[in-house]
Amino acid sequence: MTKIKSVLKKIIPSVLLDIVRPVYRLIVGDRDEAEKLGEKAKEWYDDVYRKKTAYHQHYTESSYYFIWSVIADRLVHSGVERIIDVGCGPGQFASLLCDKKVNDYLGVDLSDEAIKLAQEGCSKYRFVAKNVFESDLLKQEEYDCFVSLECLEHLEQDIELLKMVKPGTLCLFTVPNFPYISHVRFFNDEDSVVERYGALFDDFNVETFLANPTGMKYFLAEGTKT
């Protein structure tokens, strides 16, 4: 088994290994590891953001850059003035928006380590380390656009989060079609995204973006909060 793991590490990119590992553990019956799948605590994310080099790179080097570019372009042309980004991570997307001359942005993340990286990389914007479920942030802050990229699939209370967004707010968020160690859920197609979230929005639209030749996809959803 050790030899097999060694060979796999050599031939499979690290990003794909992160995706394959939890699925493999479920198939082979590693119950101790399988039970760890799902929502993670703040400390887990602090450790990830501290150690993974992908979160310390310029946004152009990120595997998300292609879809971030689409979202940034939409935001720039949408006419929104104040953006709140829940699950902002280490601020790479924020840095892209800053380079696009977006003026008013607030990034929110559970992880202190993520917010530290975000503030270091993009000093022009505001960032706060908070659990949105334990604060009135979404109620008190002024914003006309809500963004949440690759975040909702990590939350048990994804619906509750979206319900907290102010009515009339333009919302853009992405969710994946693949499992991961910290994913609570993933989506098979656009219809499954609409089925879960569509009732919360007016003019709700979902588009599919292929991430690589292996079939990894991101679904970009956009709508106005009812």
Share of the chain above pLDDT 90, in %: 84
Q: What is the CATH number of the domain that holds 155?
A: 3.40.50.150
- Tally DSSP H helices, then E strands, for the chain: 10, 7
**Is 30 contained in some domain?**
no
Closest CA to 71 of 226, 219, 225: 219
Q: What is the mean pLDDT of the chain?
A: 89
**Is 26 contained in some domain?**
no
The per-residue pLDDT for range 98-111, each reduced to its tens digit, is 999 999 999 999 99
Interhelix angle 112-121/92-99, nearest 10 degrees? 20
**Is 15 contained in some domain?**
no
**Is 94 contained in some domain?**
yes
The per-residue pLDDT for range 203-212, each reduced to its tens digit, is 999 999 999 9
> Domain of 76?
56-225
Determine the pLDDT at residue 36.
75
Q: Which residue in this structure is represented by tokens 């690759």?
A: 150
Determine the pLDDT at residue 8.
43
**Is 145 contained in some domain?**
yes
Q: Which of 33-42, 88-97, 148-157 has the lowest mean pLDDT?
A: 33-42
Nearest-10 Cα torsion for 98, 102, 107, 112: 20
Q: What is the pTM of this model?
A: 0.85
**Is 84 contained in some domain?**
yes
**Is 182 contained in some domain?**
yes
The answer to whether residue 147 scores a pLDDT higher than 50 is yes
Structure tokens of 88? 């902002």
**Is 163 contained in some domain?**
yes
Closest CA to 95 of 67, 118, 126, 65: 118
141 exposed, middle or buried (CB, 10 Å; 0-12, 13-18, 19+)? middle
The per-residue pLDDT for range 169-202, each reduced to its tens digit, is 999 999 999 999 999 999 999 999 999 999 999 9
Count of the separate structural domains present in the chain: 1
The answer to whether residue 54 scores a pLDDT higher than 70 is yes
